[in-house]
Amino acid sequence: MLRIRGEATLETPTGNQRVRAGGEAIFLIQGDGTARRSLKLRRFVLATTPVKTERGDTGVVSVLGELGEGRYFFGDKGDRFKVDAACRIHYPELDRRAGKEEEHRGCYFQPTTLPAGVHIEGEVSELEGERPYGPVRITVACLAGEDEAFSSLTLDLDVPWEVLVPLGGSTDNHPCPPTHQVNQRRLVVQPVGFRTSAADPTPSASTAAAQLATAQMVWAKCCIDIQVQPTVLITDAALKTSSDQTAIRAAYTDPDPNTIEIFFVQNPLSASGGGNAGAIGVASQKVVLAEPNGGNPVLCAHELGHALGLLHPPSSEFGTVMQPTGSAMNPGTDLVTHNMCTNISQPALQTLATTCCLHHDSGDHYIRDFPEDVGNEPSDPLPPGRTRYSMSNVWNRLSNTVGTFGANGPEHEHPARFENDGVTPKTNYLFARVEQVETLQISGASVSFYLKHPGSGAGAITLLGTVAVPVGLPQDISIPWQVPVGTPNHSCVFAVVFSPAEPEQDTTALDWAAFEALSHEDNDWAQRNLDIRNTATS
C-alpha cells in the first residue's frame, strides 16, 4: 500500500496551483521475480485542499478510483511498474453548478462527478534480494474536456510503502470467517461548535462527546475506527442557533482534506430531520447536527453513515442505524448489517495494516422446533406432549399449498414416491416457516433443505434445494422435490437458515448425531421426520 501524503501540482485553466493531497493506493502483486509480474490496483482514493477559481474556491476535491490493471517492466537499470485506472472527480462547486444548493437537497444527495483517469508509475530497485519501491508519480487527468478547476494533477512521492497483513486465519485470537475479515480503517472527524463569546458557558457541541462515542461504537462493528479531534469552537452568536447550513459549513474547513467536519448548532433543523450529511461518500463532507437532537443518540452515527457512502435502506428493510431519522421503524437503533459494512466507501478513510473481524448485527432467524418455540438456543424445555420432530415448522405437502396451522403446528402430509399410477415420480413440496427474533429486517438469508437417514454417517446427505428468504418475516418458504431412488421409507428432512452473519457450513462433514444436535441447539436448524409412502393413497 502506498499512503499518499504531500503537495501536488494541479493544472487549471488559470494556471498551476499547489495543493495539499492525501489518500492511498492499494495494489495486489502477482507472479514471481523471474517473469513479468502483474499488478492490480485494488483501491485508489485522493483528496486535496480547495482549488481557487474565478468563481471562488472549489471546496475539498475528491478523486474516487476504480479497479485497474498494470505491469512490471524489468530492465538493466532497475525495474518499473505502470498502472492505469478510471476514476471520478468531485468537488462542491460541481454541485452548485448543477443546482444542488443546500436548501434544495434534502437530507442528502448523490454528488456530481467528472470522469477522469489515473496513471501511476514508479520504480522498483534490487536491494539484498528484496524489492523496495522507489519514487512514484501519480497523474490524474480530467476526461470531460477542460474543467474550470481541474485539468490534471501530478503528485511525486518518495515514501516507504506499507505491506498490509494478508487476510485469512484468525483475528484477536478468535476465529473469524473469511467473509468477515477485513483491514481496519480509520476516519478522522473534526467536531466544530459555536459560542457567543469566549466566556459563553453553553457553546454548541455540548453533546458532541456522547454523540461521537455512540458513532464510534456503531461503526467499530464495521471495523471503522473513528478518530475524534479536539473540538474547534468558533465565536459567532448568529451561527450558534442558525439553520443556514451553507453559512454553517463555510465557517470552518480543516487544513487536512482527509478530515470530515461535524458542525453542532443549537437549532432543531426540523427540515433536515435533525441532521444533514451534505452528500454521500465524498471527502468534502461537512455534517451538520442539531442540539438538542430530539433524544436520538444515534443521530451522529446515522449522518456519518451517509458520509461513509451509505443510503437509507429500501422500505422493505428496517431496523438499522441508516433508517431515516425519526422513522417509527427505527427509534434510535444502533444496528448495522453485513451489507452495510461491506459497501462503505469514503476517500477520506485510511486503510491500516492491521486486520479486523466484522462484528456487525444480524437478524436472528429461526425455525420453530415446536409451536411454543420462540427461537431460544437450545430449544428447551419441551412442553408436555410436544416433540421436535413431528411438530416443527418444517413440513411436507403433496401440492404447493401451505395448508393450515393448528395447535400441533403446520398441516403435514406424508411424501409420496409416485403418482397414483405407481410409475410417474411424484412432485412433493417441502415448506419451512422462517421467523426472526429481533426487529432487524434484512435481506440476504436463504433456507437449504437436506435429506438424511437416521444413523447415517458423514457424507450421507442429499441437498434437496436452496431458496432465498424474502424480506418481511415470517415467511413460508417452499421447494418442489421428488423422493430420490433408494431413500428408506423412514427418513428425515432438515431445514437450515443461512445468512451473511451465519454463513453456510460444510454439512457433508456432519454425521447423524451432529445433525440432530444442531436441530436441538441451533435455532437456524429444524427437523421433520418423514414417513415416505409409495403413492399418496397407499
First to last CA, the chain: 69
State the pLDDT at residue 329: 46
User: What is the average per-residue pLDDT within 208-233?
Assistant: 94
CA distance 46 to 5: 9
State the pLDDT at residue 76: 54
DSSP alpha helix (H) spans, 311-382:
338-342
Per mean pLDDT, which of 11-15, 184-188, 432-436 is the most reliable?
184-188
Question: For 287, phi and psi rounded to 5 degrees?
Answer: -85, 140
State the pLDDT at residue 230: 96
- Closest by alpha carbon to 265, among 233, 296, 297? 233
Domain regions of the chain by residue span: 2-157, 180-357, 365-535
CATH assignment, 2-157: 2.40.160
State the pLDDT at residue 443: 58
CA distance 493 to 528: 5
State the pLDDT at residue 333: 79
Burial (CB count within 10 angstroms: exposed 0-12, middle 13-18, buried 19+), residue 206: middle
- Closest by alpha carbon to 69, among 46, 88, 85, 45? 85
Which of 41-50, 119-128, 182-191, 325-334 shows the lowest per-residue confidence on average (mean pLDDT)?
325-334
User: What is the average per-residue pLDDT within 359-388?
Assistant: 84
Cis amide leading into 50 (omega within 30): no
Q: How far is CA 223 from the centre of its chain?
A: 10
User: What is the average per-residue pLDDT within 304-333?
Assistant: 74
CATH assignment, 365-535: 2.60.40.10
State the pLDDT at residue 109: 59
User: What is the average per-residue pLDDT within 296-312?
Assistant: 91
With a cut of 80, say whether residue 73 has pLDDT above it: no
Looking at per-residue confidence, does 196 or 443 come out higher? 196
SS3 125: coil
180-357 falls under which CATH superfamily? Collagenase (Catalytic Domain) (3.40.390.10)
User: What is the average per-residue pLDDT within 384-408?
Assistant: 94
With a cut of 80, say whether residue 38 has pLDDT above it: no
Looking at per-residue confidence, does 174 or 187 come out higher? 187
Rg (C-alpha) for the chain, rounded Å, is 29
SS3 240: helix
What DSSP designation does 454 have? T
Looking at per-residue confidence, does 141 or 502 come out higher? 141
Average pLDDT, the chain: 84
pTM for the model: 0.69
Q: Indicate the pLDDT class of residue 102, thresholds 50, 70 and 90.
A: very low
With a cut of 70, say whether residue 104 has pLDDT above it: no
State the pLDDT at residue 272: 72
Give the 3-state secondary structure percentages of the chain, helix then strand then coil, rounded to 5. Answer: 10, 40, 50
Residue labelled with grid coordinates 421428488: 482
With a cut of 80, say whether residue 232 has pLDDT above it: yes
Q: 64: Cβ–Cβ under 8 A, 6 or more apart, which residues? A: 45, 87, 88, 89, 90, 113, 281, 282, 345, 347
Asked whether the CA dihedral 246, 249, 255, 258 is positive or negative, the reply is negative
Q: How far is CA 146 from the centre of its chain?
A: 36
